[in-house]
Amino acid sequence: MRQYFILLIFGIFLAASSCRTDFDTVASSGNLKFSKDTVYLDTIFKNIGSSTYQLKVYNRSKNDISIPIVQFKKGLSSKYRMTVDGMSGTNGKVFKDVTLLAKDSLYIFIETTADITDANSTDFLYTDEIQFDSGANLQEVALVTLIQDAVFLYPNQNPDGTKEKIKIDGKDVDGFYLNENDPVNGNELLFTKQKPYVIYGYAGVPENKTITFEAGACLHFHANSGLYVAKNASLQINGTASTTEKLENEVIFEGDRLEPLYSDIPGQWKSVIFEKGSANHIINHLTLKNAMTGLDFRNPTNSVTIKNTQIYNCVEYGILAQNSKIIGENIVINYAGLASLSCVYGGDYNFTHCTFNNNWPNPSHFAVNLSNRLTGATPETNPLTQATFNNCIIYGSNFNEFNLSKNTTSAFVYQLNNCLLKFGSTSNPDYQFKTDPTHYNNIILNENPKFYNVSQNKFNIDKTSAAFAKGNQAFIIPLDILGITRTSPPDLGAYQSQDFPK
């Protein structure tokens, strides 16, 4: 009986100790350690919230400690906000008596939303510090954010609280038409390099109007946003060659998340849609990335000229062209979920010195897809009157990177001249690259072009490339995509070969 009594007392003691929620702590001695001494919250647009950044705080001592206060140096007026081990404190700014156990750590998550007027007027940096304790035990971690001013374009709000809409594909979508006499922004059909532009919803180019982008103009599209060029409207992109990797003279289309984490994430915005009947499009030195579909052509009235253009990281297509006429020179496309270039429902196409690559990680993508049909509930066909590729590279990570999908009831005319092509062996008569001179001349099959760095979308080549000096002089474009003079015989693809930096 006495043994049972002892066990009962021992059990009560264990239960009481396991339910204890208080700790014997000592005051912090100012010896905290941090995962970093400065937290850079990267670049944000004014009044647009940042991503969440992490700071880890360590207690290396053998004692449980209490930090009397954790706060921003600017106090409750700080434009930063934080949580400390899941606690929100006073407005996410001030935390008192924070417990940190011996040999343990806590997480602080930091965000900011600030205006350009909050930043330093000379460098546009907004800064603050997280303070741990005070007096002799004060420790600080710096916070730094670069704030960009921008022109914001977005749908108006209707009196009933709904957003302004425009019609695309017969559906009402959040959007608005650009106004050349806007009372706030002035001419919204002219985009300059003075400030970046941030677009919410679809920005529409009205019928019979032309949208113009000057060299250095930069557009950032919010999620589910895009550009819509209506019937009889035109688009003119007038970028020029840049001298640095900052692409200072390119016209840039990308998402509105500026943090490095988002620099190569596909699908951050929708597309640039060229409606049926739109006309007179000229695109020169455009860099477009991280869309659903980059350029979506829907039977423009006349030929589209695309030169010196790069398109990367699109969920569906880099360029999707339906019954369109495109003249393309020095185009580079990579990383598209379905096809880097897809010309469907017929049309007329001529591409010279282009690099169509696709390293999207699935087994069904193509670098180039050609078709004279349009899939759907009722499949339709339309003549492919020409699809010519001269001095091009068609390559990627799949077994086959070139696809023909034709209906024999309609014309299907195509020809590849002096191209490097990746394609596995087949008995299909459409893919007899060495014995079919009607469609294929001087094809280099399944040899490595040795791109400089595919993962970084750098498709430069050097003299060890299988594409080196394999072009036909008859098709030469004198300058490559960077404005470098091509040699004779020319290299294949969009880049003139150079020695890579060691």
In this structure, the dihedral spanned by the alpha carbons of residues 453, 456, 457 and 460, taken in order and rounded to 10 degrees, is: -30
Asked if residue 375 lies in contact with residue 405, where contact means CB atoms within 8 angstroms, the answer is no
Kindly report the CA angle at 46 between 223 and 295, in degrees rounded to 5? 30
Phi, psi of 474 (to 5 degrees): -65, -25
Amino acid at 308: N
Phi, psi of 411 (to 5 degrees): -60, 145
Asked if residue 388 lies in contact with residue 349, where contact means CB atoms within 8 angstroms, the answer is yes
Asked if residue 372 lies in contact with residue 412, where contact means CB atoms within 8 angstroms, the answer is yes
Q: List the beta bridge partners of residue 57.
A: 34, 106
| Calpha distance 357→302 (Å, rounded) | 27
Tokens of residue 101, six digits: 């156990």
- Predicted confidence at residue 456, as pLDDT, reads 94
| Calpha distance 394→408 (Å, rounded) | 25
- Predicted confidence at residue 347, as pLDDT, reads 97
Amino acid at 158: N
Where do the domains of the chain lie? 26-148, 151-475
- Predicted confidence at residue 319, as pLDDT, reads 98
Tokens of residue 499, six digits: 């020695």
Alpha carbon distances (Å) from 254 to 123, 240, 264: 24, 18, 10
**What is the DSSP-derived secondary structure letter of residue 352?**
E
- Give the model confidence (pLDDT) of 377-431 as tens digits: 567 899 999 999 999 999 999 999 999 999 988 999 999 999 999 999 888 999 9
| Calpha distance 433→347 (Å, rounded) | 23
Amino acid at 110: I
- Predicted confidence at residue 162, as pLDDT, reads 86
- Give the model confidence (pLDDT) of 43-72 as tens digits: 999 888 899 999 999 999 999 999 999 999
CA 223 from chain centre, in angstroms, equals: 11
Check: pTM over 0.85? Answer yes or no.
Answer: yes
| Calpha distance 470→142 (Å, rounded) | 55
- Predicted confidence at residue 159, as pLDDT, reads 84
- Give the CATH superfamily of 26-148: Immunoglobulins (2.60.40.10)
Provide DSSP, 220-240.
EEPTT-EEEE-TT-EEEEE--
CA 497 from chain centre, in angstroms, equals: 27
Asked if residue 251 lies in contact with residue 239, where contact means CB atoms within 8 angstroms, the answer is yes
Tokens of residue 142, six digits: 């710096």
- Predicted confidence at residue 378, as pLDDT, reads 63
Asked if residue 299 lies in contact with residue 277, where contact means CB atoms within 8 angstroms, the answer is yes
Q: 248, 247, 294: which is closest to 267 by C-alpha?
A: 294
Phi, psi of 439 (to 5 degrees): -115, -20
Give the residue ranges of the chain where pLDDT is below 70: 1-24, 376-378, 502
Q: 389, 349, 316, 358: which is closest to 451 by C-alpha?
A: 358
Q: 304, 418, 297: which is closest to 352 by C-alpha?
A: 418
